[in-house]
Amino acid sequence: MSSAQAIQTQFETHPSADWWRGAVIYQIYPRSFQDSTGNGVGDLRGIVQRLPYIASLGADAIWISPFFTSPMDDFGYDVADYCDVDPMFGTLADFDAVVDAAHELGLMVMIDLVLSHSSEQHPWFKESRKSQDNDKSNWYVWAEAQPDGSPPNNWLSIFGGSAWHWDSRRCQYFLHNFLASQPDLNLHEPQVQDALLDVARFWLERGVNGFRLDTINFYFADKLLRDNPPLAPELRNSTIAPMVNPYNHQEHLYSKNQPETLDFLRRLRAVMDPYNAAAVGEVGDAQRGLEILGQYTAGDDLMQMCYAFELLSGERPTAATLASIFTKVDAVAADGWACWAYSNHDVQRHKSRWALSDAADRCFATLLMCLRGSACIYQGEELGLPEADVPFEALQDPYGIEFWPEFKGRDGCRTPMVWERSNTNGGFSSSADLWLPVPAAHLSHAAASAESDPDALIHHYRKAIAFRHNHSVLQSGNMTDLRADGDVFSFVRAGTGGTLFCAFNLAESATQITLPHGNWQQLGQELASASINPDGTLILEPWQCCLVLKTG
């Protein structure tokens, strides 16, 4: 065994148990990252090709959105085989190459597990729908029609319409919280839990270091199938299509967020622990997201991390909003761990969503790296990519097609990465036919051009990530003394590594602040941190931060 192989084996076998705490995780949407075969769709070998770029940012881990065998009705979130790679993305050997290359670069690998539902093309569902008394008849959520033939209850699908679909083979309804081609698994059935835990073991044995758990709070539905109560209009605050989707008219007491989830998460944690693997759960709940985050990450036998949607919201957060969010985190998730993100594959890119200037973009990037919790970066945000305007005829997302034009779906944040400015495909693919078009407006943001521009946002991201890594208190310390003074959001990070005071002016006008009592050393000059006056005051210019270390 070569020395490189020995290092590789040690990395795979003995990652630090708490590698995830404070980690910076780079999300890859594989369809749109890099096409290595010229078919217009990104793939696993393309990821291998671009991993050095991610490592150069200073990221600790990658999260790869689904690449499993799938009919692609929901672009991989409808899984037909949990333990194989869809040919569009390559092979299991190609996935192994991703793991090997990532580990050689010091990157952990997290993959997106979709455990609440499968594709209707999955062999489990094909068997389950054959009859009401076969070996897998209870593996999905089936229910009788009401006497008038209508669905079993009032539950709604996120993608529109009833969450129940009539199946003529069994003459019953099956539950689907998403597309009708995505039937919900019945995790009340122990055999289903065992099968899903075997899926986790399969990938852990292949060297993955953790999972992003899709719709973690959807794993169980109420056994009694009780109706959801209505939700008052003033509480309809979903981050996705809140006004046009009737899903937001219900309080989802029974269709998700069930107490049985906790016991299953404990079983999953027990599978992960021998590998020092970590998971981040997606909590899809507009009203109780932070509370559920706190429940699912409390103690040391549940999930390590979860994220809610507070920083994925449509309105740009103000100082008061941020102080309110993190005060609530202290109240409901003090024993848990959050993972924060501004953008992902499901929401409009935050550059456009929050109408950020370049200065504001830099300020929010620095803020993300100073928050307590772990952090996710979505591919392209480090380039300052705005939301793409995808015409209706080019749309792929069933969500957008259903609710067009009031809601244009998620394709605008999923267009291909731009690597080079020199061609219309941005270096993503050699094909003339891409799965989604590369917006012309993105070409000026191409990674190669950004690398050669000292003022480009990517360099600020590198500096902000390095600042986080260089100050251990930002990775694991407490976050206290939350304040919103006008447009300035400030807090203290304290723990191993010292005490840092962080303040951010989230406005277009300058303001003066006074540092807390004590002696402070200025840090973060590379991030344009404000200079301290001898009297302990300082001027924060528009979108400027203050980062200082307590020395006495």
- Catalytically active residues, by annotation: 214, 282
Residue 71, C-beta contacts closer than 8 angstroms, at least 6 positions apart: 78, 80, 119, 121, 181
Round to whole Å and give the CA distance between 233 and 248: 9
Round to whole Å and give the CA distance between 71 and 383: 32
CB neighbour class for 329 (10 Å; exposed up to 12, middle 13-18, buried from 19): buried
Round to whole Å and give the CA distance between 334 and 307: 14
* Alpha-carbon distances, residue 327 vs 215, 298, 334, 351, 546 (angstroms): 25, 17, 10, 26, 21
Counted residue by residue, the chain has a size of 552
Contact 56, 408 (CB under 8 A): no
Nearest to 362 by CA among 443, 467, 447: 467
| Angle, alpha carbons 318-322-324 (nearest 5°) | 115
Burial track 88-121 (b if 16+ CB lie within 10 A, e otherwise)? bbbeeebbebbbbbbbbeebbbbbbbbbbbbbbb
Round to whole Å and give the CA distance between 480 and 260: 33
Look at the block and give the residue holding tokens 């009708």: 180
CB neighbour class for 469 (10 Å; exposed up to 12, middle 13-18, buried from 19): middle
